[in-house]
Structures are given as structure tokens and as C-alpha cells.
Structure 1
Amino acid sequence: MATYGGSAPIFGRHSVASEKTTVVTRRVAQYIVDVIANGVLSAIPFLLLVAASTDSAGNVEGGTATSVLYAIAIVLALAVSVWYWVLRPAAHRGRTFGMALMRIRVVDADTAGEARKGQLVIRWILLIVDTLFAGLVGLITMLVSKRHQRVGDMGAHTLVVRDRGPRVY
């Protein structure tokens, strides 16, 4: 890996100082915030489903209509998750709500510019791997990798760096 002036590693044509990627503690806090926020937002379709499929006595009705409502709720919850982990960061300088709060953001590892939607999709899909064993796979990977990347970052060619910008949510 090339360096510029002996200090910052060069990825593509741009440099990212190694201290900017030393954000593991912030990332753990960010992940906790984001899991709670995404969980609450994704639960809304299911709460609406229960309200729509409950009779006046408080019993959940069965049948085809309820099955269709469950399918719709699952699709809506998935759409919320895609918005939270992919579309929102793409529109807000690579930041989820938790990232904005912790002042970190996702960048393209090759250009140090904003991560592209495709990269954010790969990170989101590989979050499944990173969260194995209560998140230990992602945590250990971040602790031992040179650029503090989780599996999703490696697969997407992204870095998470300190963001000195304002905490705009």
C-alpha cells in the first residue's frame, strides 16, 4: 500500500489518515442506536397489522386476510430497513441516525468520497454476517483489521471515518 509523506495510506487517488478510521468504540455505540431506531421503525407495520386484525374482544383474527396483512407487514418492514441502512445514508453523507450522533460516516475506500448506493447495499446485506454471535464477528473483524473494517466494509470497499461535520440528523 502506498503512502503519502509516510503517514496516510493511499486508497485509490485519495488518502484517509489511519486515525480517522480508529472509531470502533463509536461504531459500537452507533450500532446500538441504529438497531433500536431501525427496530422501532420496522415494528410499526406489525403494530398496525395487529390493530387491523384484532376484533372488538381483543382476539387476533386468522384466515387469508390476516396472512396477506402479515406478508404486507414483512415487505414494509424490509422497505423500512432498506431505507434506514441504504437510502438514508446515501442521501445524508453516508450517515445513519446513529452515525450522525456519533459523528462518523461511511466513505468509499478507494476515493474517500461518499459511498455509493451499491456499496451501501452490500454493507447492509453483509450485516447478517457481522451480527453473527451477538455481533462478535463484526466487532472482532473491526478490532483486527488494519483499517478497522467489518466484513460488510471489506465486501463493499468502504471505510467508516470520523466526521467533523455538524450533527445533522
Structure 2
Amino acid sequence: MNKTNLITKIKTEPNIRNRFVAGLVDYIIIYTVTFILIYAIGEPNDEGGYSLNGLPALIPIIFWLIMTVGLEIGFGATLGNLLVGLKAIPKNGTKRKLTFGESFKRHLLDPIDMFFFGLVGIITIKNTDLNQRVGDLWAKTIVVPIKSQTELK
């Protein structure tokens, strides 16, 4: 089966609610662990809070990288996407997991896509032919239901 036929059989849908829930789940986990780390190993600062300085400040960044990029390239989806039955694949429809670069590009733009409660992401998903958010456009990826991948086997 050539790539052109494969892409026509993969149905992309906006899945706004599922994608919102997936992002919410992922980032609740990331923020919770980050705040716990800050209070557990952080140092008190002059403003009455805690902060991470030096090498410990890299721990939340590494955790974010593992939770988003690591899980996506290792298992094909983040925890949130697995929970709602979605996965990201290359835009050309190739049945493979994303590369590090593709996944990193997608998630590096999460703050833009999630700006103002996800409004930027919702607008781009609804106004692109393949229902892509800004990160997907840059990384050349699409988000599809996991079941669509199993139907193609």
C-alpha cells in the first residue's frame, strides 16, 4: 500500500474534547510533580516560596521531556492521549512512532497551543485540513484515534 492510499484511510477528526482532556491530564501530572519537587528539594527564597537553582532546576525539565517526548516516542502516545485513545503519527500517514525531533517540536509549542485555555490550539485544529494544532503543523504530525491504526493492520 503506498503512502497516498494510507493517508486517505486515516481519518483525522478535531477530537477537541479528547485532546483537551489528554493535555489536561498530562500537564496536571507534570505540574504536580514539579511543585512537589520544588517544595521537596527546593531552597526557600526571599519571597517566602521555594526555588530550584543549579542542576536541580533541570529535574522538572527532564521530567517534562520524559512525560511528553519520551512516552510519545516510546509508547506512541502520552499518558493523556492513551487515556482518551489518541496518538500522534507523521503527517504522511506512515504507521510508525514519532521520532524524537517530531515529538519534541510538537511539545515545545504546547505553551502556544494551550494559551488562554487552549484557544489557540482549538482555533488551529478547527481551521486546518488535517485538524492540526500549531505544534503539529511545525512537526508535520497529525493526531488520530488509536483504533484507526489497528483497523489498518
Q: TM-score, normalized by length of structure 1?
A: 0.73
RMSD between aligned alpha carbons?
2.7
The structure with the largest helix share of the pair is: 2
Aligned to 2:29: 37
Q: 1:158 deviation in Å?
A: 0.4
| Contact 1:104/1:163, CA 8 A, preserved across alignment | yes
List runs of 5+ in structure 1 lacking aligned partners: 5-9, 54-59
- 1:129-148 equivalences under 5 Å are 129-148=112-131
| Contact 1:46/1:70, CA 8 A, preserved across alignment | no
Aligned to 1:124: 107
**Matches of 1:25 and 1:37, distance apart in 2:** 18
Q: Which amino acid is 2:79 matched to?
A: F
**Matches of 2:5 and 2:117, distance apart in 1:** 36
What SS does the aligned partner of 1:148 have? Answer: coil
Q: 1:153 deviation in Å?
A: 0.2
Q: 1:159 deviation in Å?
A: 0.5
Aligned to 2:86: 104
| Contact 2:14/2:126, CA 8 A, preserved across alignment | no
Q: 1:152 deviation in Å?
A: 0.2
1:83 equivalent to 2:84? Answer no
Residue correspondences, number: 145
List runs of 5+ in structure 2 lacking aligned partners: none
Please list the CA deviations of residues 106-152 of structure 1 after superposition, one character each: whole Å capped at 9, or x if unmatched: 10111432211110010111112212223211111111111110000
Q: Which amino acid is 1:106 matched to?
A: A
Aligned to 1:153: 136
What SS does the aligned partner of 2:98 have? Answer: coil
Change (3 A) 1:144 1:78: same
- 4+ residue runs over 4 A deviation: 10-13
